[in-house]
Amino acid sequence: MEAGQKLIESYQLRVNDVVVGVTIFSDDKEPVPIYNISITNISETTKIILEKIRQEFISQQTQYIETEGQPEIAVIQSDFKRSILVLLQKYFPTANKKTIDMLINYILQQNIGLGHIEILLKDRNLEEIVINNANEPIWVYHRKHGWLKTNIIMPNEARIRYYSTVIGRDIGKEITVLNPLMDAHLKTGDRVNATLKPISSKGNTITIRKFAARPWTITDFLKENTISYEAAALLWAAVQNELSIVIAGGTASGKTSMLNVAANFFPPNQRIISLEDTRELLLPDILHWVPLETRLPNPEGKGGITMLDLVVNSLRMRPDRILVGEIRRRAEAEVLFEAMHTGHSVYGTLHANNVRETINRLTQPPIGLPKQILSALSLIVVQNINRRDGRRRTLQIGEIMHDGDAKTLMQLNAAKDTLEKINEPTAIYETLNLYTGLSKEEIEKDIEEKVDILKWMVSSNINDINQIGLIMSKYYRKLPFRNVAK
């Protein structure tokens, strides 16, 4: 470290046999910490030779890069590998097969892949990768350290545009001067948004929200103090007894993660249909789960599948539970609430900052539902992100009363960083009593038992989604489950 720099964290990544060192450090000259990558198993001399090979290679292969209607990426890679192999054997005649393969992968990554972005995509600690233009470094959002500035800078605006084109081409989308905005996803499930100058006045942009390689589980949330044991047990009781739930919050507050956590409690003997714009949910393997995705129309305006299409279609698939990535419009909300009234359990996310705002969002345009039908919904869970320190917390949990108003049951005490009970449940207890016959005392005893199980899961470090699914299956069938441990 140089003077004025302080190491925060360091670790290694392996990308196609290329070893990459990651160093995160603070610098007195920089307003945010730096995310620095360095390739450790390729010497500087080798990099200079590889750059010469790259330039020679590109001069031979410009027809692929400059033509429209490019062939499949696998075909391009196969042709390029043969060409690169000839050049590598010319410059590295004594290299063994393993070294040659590693160098081929490195050159492919730099030329027809996404370059150093592919390294960032391999870091499971990153949630977001952002290219703002070719004049400033790429930014990343780190799971532990928040926004960081990297030591990676795009060589020019054309390279950013090329990456956008490559991403879009793989899924049949295009980004052009006439269509300068693109929503897409990588084959790994990572969501991508791209814009072209002059719509983004400082330069071309790419924003990648990474698909979680390992989804958040209830034990992760409890360990991170995202939610309290009592709140998690109440959520579990609601899911077990098929009460419908809306999860609200702002952007990046953890709404989808909480939806995935709630799905940890699903029983295996019910059919679950999930509806999303881009696949983010990941449920236990033992569940009877059918994921569906929307689709944008093609350039001719045909073939589009909307969220409303999926909602209507899902009701023809005999679902027991319906998960909705995001509720946005009146038509789809009406169908979902109709599904609640006809006995289906519905779980969805909504952009709103607290319990009161959630009711307003549901009852005012563009959704604009009649307030009296909201009683089909039982719980509102509100997630929040503190953008100063990156902490995500459950801000409020509220129940819907019979007149459609909401009552807040639990609320975050930000000063103490604890989720505190502020009101006793009434509507939920009445609903549970009606359908299960359990008294208030029996419901509270059941919640206490669930707290004990959750504490055991955390102490046993059970955070694999499939293990949790197996525990829930055994719990619902009243079988011994405490032997399911790592």
Query: SS3 sequence, the chain?
Result: CCCCEEEEEEEEEEECCEEEEEEEEEECCCCCCEEEEEECCCCHHHHHHHHHHHHHHHHHCHHHHHCCCCCCHHHHHHHHHHHHHHHHHHHCCCCCHHHHHHHHHHHHHHHCCCCCHHHHHCCCCEEEEEECCCCCCCEEEECCCEEEEECCCCCCHHHHHHHHHHHHHHCCCCCCCCCCEEEEECCCCCEEEEECCCCCCCCCEEEEECCCCCCCCHHHHHHCCCCCHHHHHHHHHHHHCCCCEEEEECCCCCHHHHHHHHHHHCCCCCEEEEEECCCCCCCCCCCEEEEEECECCCCCCCCCECHHHHHHHHCCCCCCEEEECCCCCHHHHHHHHHHHHCCCEEEEEEECCCHHHHHHHHHCCCCCCCHHHHHHCCEEEEEEECCCCCCEEEEEEEEECCCCCEEEEEEEECCCCEEEECCCCCHHHHHHHHHHCCCHHHHHHHHHHHHHHHHHHHHCCCCCHHHHHHHHHHHHCCCCCCCCCC
Gap between the Cα atoms of 48 and 54, Å rounded: 10
Q: Which of 168-172, 277-281, 349-353, 482-486 has the lowest mean pLDDT?
A: 482-486
- Say whether pLDDT at 485 is over 60: no
Query: Among 170-179, 377-386, 424-433, which is the least confidently predicted range?
Result: 170-179
pLDDT tens for 163-197 read 999 898 887 788 999 889 998 888 888 889 999 99
For residues 474 and 486, what is the distance between their CA atoms, to the nearest angstrom?
16
Residue 262's nearest CA partner among 216, 319, 306, 209 is 216
Token digits for 269?
């003997």
Q: How far apart are CA 378 and CA 429, in angstroms?
A: 10
Mean pLDDT of 284-300: 89
**Sign of the torsion formed by the C-alpha atoms of 405, 344, 380 and 478:** positive
The predicted-structure confidence for 72-90, as pLDDT tens digits, reads as follows 556 666 777 777 788 788 8
What pLDDT score does 481 carry? 87
Distance CA 299, CA 135 (A): 32
- Residues of the chain above pLDDT 70, percent: 93
Q: Please say whether the beta carbons of 92 and 131 come within 8 A.
A: no
290, two tokens: 């059918």
145 pLDDT above the threshold of 70: yes
Neighbours of 405 (CB within 10 A): 15
pLDDT at 474 over 60: yes
- Residue 233 has what pLDDT? 98
Rounded distance, CA 145 to CA 122, Å?
A: 17
CB 429 within 8 A of CB 215: no
What confidence category does residue 130 fall into, taking pLDDT thresholds of 50, 70 and 90? very high
- The confidence score (pLDDT) of residue 184 equals 86
Domains 5-209 and 218-476 share a fold: no
| CATH placement of domain 5-209 | 3.30.450.380
pLDDT on residue 63: 47
- The stretch 200-228 carries a mean pLDDT of 93
Domain locations in the chain as residue ranges? 5-209, 218-476
Higher pLDDT, 250 or 113: 250
pTM of the model: 0.81
* Residues in the chain, total: 486
Is 23:7 a contact under the CB 8 Å cutoff? yes
Dist. CA 460–CA 114, nearest whole Å:
40
Q: For the chain, state the CA radius of gyration.
A: 25
Backbone torsions φ then ψ of 424, nearest 5 degrees: -80, 140
Give residue 66's pLDDT. 41
Can you give the pLDDT at residue 93? 84
Q: Are 462 and 455 in contact (CB under 8 A)?
A: no
Fold of 218-476: Rossmann fold (3.40.50)
- Answer whether residue 68 shows pLDDT above 50: no
Report the mean per-residue pLDDT for the chain: 90
Tell which wins on pLDDT, 5 or 95. Answer: 5
Work out the percent of the chain whose per-residue pLDDT is above 90.
68
Q: Rounded to an integer, what distance in angstroms lies between the CA atom of residue 32 and that of residue 104?
A: 35
Q: Is the pLDDT of residue 41 over 70?
A: no
> How sure is the predictor about 270, in pLDDT bands with cuts at 50, 70 and 90?
very high
Label residue 417 left, alpha or beta by phi (over 0 means left) and psi (-120 to 50 means alpha).
Answer: left
d(CA 25, CA 4): 10
Non-local (6+) Cβ contacts of 241 within 8 A are: 432, 435, 436
Distance CA 262, CA 336 (A): 18
Nearest to 260 by CA among 250, 247, 243: 247
